[in-house]
A and B are shown apart, each in its own frame.
Chain A
Amino acid sequence: MSAAISIHGAVKAFGDTVVVDGVDLSLPSGSVTVVLGPSGSGKSTLLRAINHLEPLDRGVVTVGGETIGVRLRTGRDGVPRWKELPERHILRQRSRIGFVFQHFNLFPHLTALENVAEGPIAAGVSRAVARDRAAALLERVGLGDRGDTRPRQLSGGQQQRVAIARALALEPSVVLLDEPTSALDPELVGEVLGVIRGLADTGTTLVIVTHEIAFAREVADHVVFLDHGRVVEQGPPAQVLDHPQHTRTRDFLSRVR
């Protein structure tokens, strides 16, 4: 059910600033990868490139062996190039990749249940099945009795848990989490991390951008340290977090601990 992710030569610039500067990563299926880095290091952009929310200038991402957002086409000059796919293909690809945003981005005019059921319904699942699936997912994240409330009536932690349920509703092979607890009050962070921990235990491929070092140590299989758009260091958490090899990694870790 889960898929492997590989990123080849990703480059992305915004205007004159190069935000992702040649990143190659290979994340095996079922692994939990935590991406760390100072602000502006390009970690969010890299994450968003995986489901083509940010189209890359150069390079390609594959999920489960399928290239995301682009396909290879040989032009009339005989040179093969990566060409952007039509939007409906990209949307279909995205429905197999779950994404959790830092600011939840729940749909405020829909109830929690409707939020979670929206993805499957749009993908063609019958309403009844989608709502059942949504109810089960809300139960799983500990909000089974809050299906009929609107996001504004929930706390930040509860909203993010609904957002995770929403991302899971499409039964994705990969789930991407972009600083899932950064916008939460400290006492609410724990409940969300608990849900993510549970998710990791199910064996779904996860890529998490976060500042929670302790969590990374506990849950991650693989830690990637990104700085100025480049992978500075990567490896098992014990190695990167406790025995960093590069000065920049050491500086960053000493600042956030």
Chain B
Amino acid sequence: MTDTTRAPQREATSVDDAGRTPEPSRASRPETATIDAAGHAALDRPVVPLRHPLRWIAAALVLVMLLNFVETLFTNQQWGWPAVGKWLFSPAVLTGLQLTLTATALSAVISFAGGVVVAIARLSQNPVLSGLAWGYVWLFRSVPLILVLVFLYNLGSLYPTIGIGIPFGPQFQVPTANVLGDLAIGVIGLSLSEIAYASEIVRAGVLAVDHGQHEAAQALGLPRRRQFVRVILPQALRSIVPAFVNQVVGLLKASSLLFYVSLLDLFGVVQNLSSTYPTDIIPLLVVATIWYLVLTSAVSIVQYYVERWTARGSVRALPPTPFQRVRAAVRRGSGRGSGRPGGPDRARQAASAARVVASGPASTIDDRTI
């Protein structure tokens, strides 16, 4: 390949910023300095991006494995799909599902509120408050949830009666076993444990808020409570929400421990039914899996929208939601579709396009043809 053609303005040597010329050896290497005739001809064609054949092969392999597994779902009788269909919407399973939702919702609300309180206590200047808060978090992150439930449920063994009264005087007492219903005990147990984790999440979120925000709020003379509620917490929510929703999803499963207080949630019902119908053990487990997938997906969707709401000050413009993107794609597709049948429309489009070019910026463009 000889460099017979040289573009006139293409200099073999270049001058850098400081006004010095580079070494002559670099300038004389032909491949960096000139392109030949074939290269010139290729200038008009678009540049071809790098291809990754191996990636496609790997993806195909993974897909094949997945499809193999999916095939076993249909061919392996042990999955028992007819039984899954029978149990998926049965009253017992739905009752258990209701308990899972109720217990999770109640615990989520209580643990968020409690978490904020404990986090504030932990961050306060008062050493007693912050020490107590630290102690609470330490205790309830150490004791496993099932033990919390065990102790609460069997409080009656430790304290047969609960009451208040004048010390060494008359007392009003009530047998412990009857004070709280099972759902209350279960939710309180779940919440006590969750509050410890939630408070750490809230504290992390609050610490993540830029210190300048604290200063600005202080400089405005905002009272402490208003500083926290109006300035700090809304910004902390941005960091808190993903981690907290994580906990809520965990709560969905943790509610399965409620069998310990004689309450059967979704998983408890499934276990109970499995013992009465031992041939349906695996199908019932599949039913539970399906419901957990549905619940977690629902929570994820809610999380997506909550995160958009908390992000409203932090990004210039919110990106379109998947739903909006689908709607836009559909609209684009239908717009194209209405123009596709036949030549006349094409010609009309070309004519209007020509009109646009001819008339310049002050033209109207038919949206539908874009």
- On whether A and B touch (CB less than 8 Å), the answer reads yes
On A, residues with C-beta under 8 Å from B are 51, 53, 87-88, 91-99, 101, 103, 105-110, 118-119, 122-123, 150-153, 166-167, 170
Contact A119 B221 (CB under 8 A): yes
Given the known A-B contacts A105-B213, A105-B216, A118-B230, are A110 and B313 also in contact in the complex, defined by CB atoms under 8 Å? yes
Instruction: Say which residue of B219, B235, B317 sits within 8 Å of A94 (CB atoms).
Output: B219
Residues from chain A with a CB closer than 8 A to the CB of B82 are none
B231 contacts across to A, CB distance below 8 A: 107, 118
Q: Among residues 208 to 235 in chain B, which have CB atoms less than 8 Å away from a CB atom of chain A? A: 210, 212-213, 215-224, 226, 230-231, 234-235
Chain A residues lying within 8 Å of B316, measured Cβ to Cβ, are: 152-153
17 A/B residue pairs, CB under 8 Å, sorted by A: A91-B222, A94-B219, A95-B220, A95-B221, A97-B219, A98-B219, A107-B216, A107-B231, A108-B313, A109-B234, A122-B221, A122-B222, A122-B223, A123-B221, A152-B315, A153-B316, A167-B219
Cβ of A92 and Cβ of B313 under 8 Å apart?
A: no
Residues of B within 8 A of A (CB): 210, 212-213, 215-224, 226, 230-231, 234-235, 310, 312-317
**Bound-state Cα–Cα, A170 to B221, Å:** 10
**Among candidates A53, A99, A152, A170, residue contacting B313 with C-beta atoms closer than 8 Å:** A152
In the complex, chain A residues whose CB is within 8 Å of the CB of B217: 107
| B residues in contact with A103, CB < 8 Å | 212
By a CB distance below 8 angstroms, the chain B residues around A106 are 216
Please give the distance in Å from A109's CB to the nearest CB on chain B.
Answer: 4
User: In angstroms, how far is the closest chain A Cβ from the Cβ of B226?
Assistant: 5
* Bound-state Cα–Cα, A153 to B316, Å: 5
A150 near B221 with CB under 8 A, answer no
Residues on A with beta carbons closer than 8 Å to the beta carbon of B317 = 153
> Please, how many angstroms separate the alpha-carbon atoms of A98 and B221 in the complex?
10
A53 engages B216 (CB within 8 Å): no
Q: Is the CB of B312 within 8 A of A122?
A: no
A-B interface, 10 closest residue pairs, ranked by CB to CB distance from nearest: A95-B221, A108-B313, A109-B313, A105-B216, A99-B219, A94-B221, A105-B212, A119-B220, A91-B221, A122-B222
CB distance from A226 to the nearest CB of B (A): 21
A51-B222 contact given A108-B313, A109-B312, A150-B313, CB 8 Å threshold: no
Q: In the bound complex, how far is the Cα of B362 from the Cα of A185, in angstroms? A: 34
Question: Complex formed: what's the CA distance from A106 to B231 in Å?
Answer: 10
Partner of A101, one of B212, B234, B235, B315: B212
**Count the A-B residue pairs with Cβ separation under 8 angstroms: how many?**
79
- Output the least CB separation between B227 and chain A (Å): 9
Residues of chain A contacted by B212 (CB below 8 angstroms): 101, 103, 105
CA distance A110 to B231 in the complex (A): 9
Q: Which residue in chain B gives the minimum CB-CB distance to A151?
A: B313
Known contacts A51-B219, A93-B221, A105-B212; can you find 12 more A-B pairs with CB under 8 A? A87-B224, A101-B215, A105-B210, A107-B216, A108-B314, A118-B220, A118-B230, A119-B221, A150-B312, A152-B313, A152-B316, A153-B316
Closest to A100 in B: B219
Nearest-neighbour CB distance to chain B for A245, whole angstroms, equals 35
Residues of chain A contacted by B215 (CB below 8 angstroms): 53, 101, 105
- Is B223 within 8 A of A91, CB to CB? yes
- Known: A101-B212, A107-B213. Contact between A170 and B234, CB under 8 A? no
Q: In the complex, what's the smallest C-beta–C-beta distance from A151 to chain B, in angstroms?
A: 7
A92 to B316, CA, bound (A): 34
How far, in angstroms, from A65 to B191 measured CA to CA in the complex? 53
Residues from chain A with a CB closer than 8 A to the CB of B234 are 109
Residue of chain B at shortest CB distance from A52:
B218
A27 to chain B, nearest CB (A): 19
Residues of B within 8 Å of A88, CB to CB, are: 223-224
The listed residue with most A CB atoms (<10 A of its CB), out of B222, B226, B312, is B222
Determine the chain A residues whose CB is within 8 A of the CB of B219 once the complex forms.
51, 53, 94, 97-99, 101, 167
Provide the bound-state CA to CA distance between A107 and B313, in Å: 8
Cβ of A123: which chain B residues have Cβ within 8 Å of it?
A: 221
| Chain A residue with Cβ nearest B234 | A109
Q: Tell me which of B213, B215, B221 has the highest count of chain A C-beta atoms within 10 A of its own C-beta.
A: B221
Docked Cα-Cα span, A10 to B313, in Å, equals 39
Residues of the A chain whose Cβ atoms lie less than 8 Å from the Cβ of B314: 108-109, 152
Contacts of B221 in A (CB 8 A): 91-96, 119, 122-123, 170
Chain B residues with CB under 8 Å of A119's CB are: 220-222
> Which B residues are CB-close (under 8 A) to A166?
220
Q: How far is the CA of A153 from the CA of B317 in the complex (A)?
A: 8
Roughly how many angstroms separate A153 CA and B314 CA in the complex, as a whole number?
10
Q: For A170, list chain B residues within 8 Å (CB).
A: 220-221
Do B235 and A122 touch (CB < 8 A)?
no
Least Cβ–Cβ distance between A146 and chain B, in angstroms: 14
Q: Which residues of B contact A109 (CB under 8 A)?
A: 234-235, 310, 312-314
Chain B residues, CB < 8 A from A92: 221
Residues of A within 8 A of B315 (CB): 152
Most buried by A among B216, B218, B234: B216
Q: Which chain A residues lie closer than 8 Å to B312 at the CB level?
A: 109, 150
Closest to B125 in A: A87
Contact A122 B220 (CB under 8 A): yes
**Distance of B125 from chain A, by nearest CB (Å):** 9
Q: How far is the CB of A167 from chain B (nearest CB, A)?
A: 8
Residue of A nearest to B238 (CB): A109
| Distance A122 CA – B317 CA, assembled complex (angstroms) | 29
Measured in the bound complex, the distance between the Cα atoms of B10 and A180 in whole Å is: 49
